[in-house]
């Protein structure tokens, strides 16, 4: 059994500090049997950060997009008519009510907190609680998934830290910001999502960087070998803590060295 006191002790030993801005990726199951579930995890995180700290989680959605892998998997084998009917039933994104369907129970708990703020992006939203929540969350442009007009850039500017709780670097959203920075001309593609901006259900379309997390685990392992990542335990899970700006800067250099044509 993992309780609140154990989590607070483990997080403190790892290096989570009072007043930090902290972006958390987590797997509740990996922590072991937590007394109080996801609520206890969030309580422990907020307890260590204190009232001056800001907790941020990704709350992305994909059930409202017809350009997502989830959609492609769902319509496999459907007729054209069935695809049209499925598309017509897809729920519009509402930042106040749409659950995150891909990020797990801890982010969903944060999203549902009365004091939480959530960004407006229909695919790659973030939720936050704490004194810097509005500064980080506001202004998430619809045509910017995870770039300079997203909460990731605000987290970079705030000198935030990243906490991976029982998940690997393949889940490290911060590396996506580096995809916008390592080259002047990143590959782009089209995205679509259904939203409700107060005037009813409608589809929005935009073009942005073609995000690719296929090499994130490799980038993360190389980054960890530099010695700047604090590695420990939280409950029964392996936990990693590191500077978000350091991770983004390292990933941008790594992408420039390994993804650009002249580097191959």
- The pLDDT tens digits for 93-126 are 999 999 998 899 999 999 999 999 999 999 999 9
Running DSSP on this structure, what letter comes out for residue 102? Answer: S
Residue 37's contacts (CB-CB under 8 Å, 6 or more residues apart) are: 28, 105
CA 150-126-191 angle, 5° bins: 60
pLDDT of 264 reads 43
Residue 55's contacts (CB-CB under 8 Å, 6 or more residues apart) are: 22, 24, 42, 45, 46, 49, 110, 128, 129, 130
> Is the pLDDT score of 90 beyond 50?
yes
Confidence of residue 34 (pLDDT cuts 50, 70, 90): very high
Give residue-wise pLDDT tens across range 118-177: 999 999 999 999 999 999 999 999 999 999 999 999 999 999 999 999 999 999 999 999
Total domains, the chain:
1
- Nearest-angstrom CA–CA distance, 235 and 152: 27
Confidence of residue 261 (pLDDT cuts 50, 70, 90): confident
> Is the pLDDT score of 7 beyond 70?
yes
> Is the pLDDT score of 260 beyond 90?
no
Contact between 28 and 106 under an 8 Å Cβ cutoff? The reply is yes
CA 162-147-202 angle, 5° bins: 115
Which stretches does DSSP call E strand in 197-235? 201-209, 230-234
Work out the percent of the chain whose per-residue pLDDT is above 70.
99
Helices (H), 90-173: 105-112, 133-137, 151-157
Q: Which domain holds residue 230?
A: 4-263
Average pLDDT, the chain: 95
């Amino acid at each position: 059994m993992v309780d609140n006191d154990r989590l607070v002790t483990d997080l403190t030993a790892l290096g989570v500090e009072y007043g930090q801005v902290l972006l958390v990726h987590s797997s509740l199951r990996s922590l072991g049997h937590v007394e109080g579930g996801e609520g206890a995890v969030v309580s422990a995180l907020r307890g260590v950060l204190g009232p001056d700290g800001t907790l941020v989680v990704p709350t992305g959605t994909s059930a409202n997009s017809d350009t997502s892998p989830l959609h492609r998997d769902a319509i496999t084998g459907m007729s054209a008519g069935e695809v049209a009917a499925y598309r017509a039933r897809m729920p519009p994104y509402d930042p106040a009510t749409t659950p995150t369907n891909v990020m797990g129970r801890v982010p969903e708990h944060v999203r549902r907190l009365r004091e939480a703020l959530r960004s407006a992006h229909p695919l790659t939203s973030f939720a936050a609680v704490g004194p810097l929540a509005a500064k980080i969350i506001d202004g998430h442009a619809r045509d910017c998934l995870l770039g300079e007009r997203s909460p990731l850039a605000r987290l970079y500017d705030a000198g935030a830290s990243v906490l991976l709780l029982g998940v690997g670097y393949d889940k490290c959203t911060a590396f996506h910001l580096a995809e916008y920075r390592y080259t002047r001309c990143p590959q782009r593609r089209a995205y679509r999502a259904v939203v409700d901006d107060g005037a009813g259900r409608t589809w929005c379309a935009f073009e942005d960087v073609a995000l690719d997390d296929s090499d994130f685990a490799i980038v993360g392992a190389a980054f960890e070998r530099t010695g700047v990542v604090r590695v420990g335990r939280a409950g029964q899970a392996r936990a990693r803590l590191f500077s978000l700006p350091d991770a983004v800067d390292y990933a941008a250099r790594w992408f420039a060295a390994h993804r650009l044509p002249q580097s191959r």
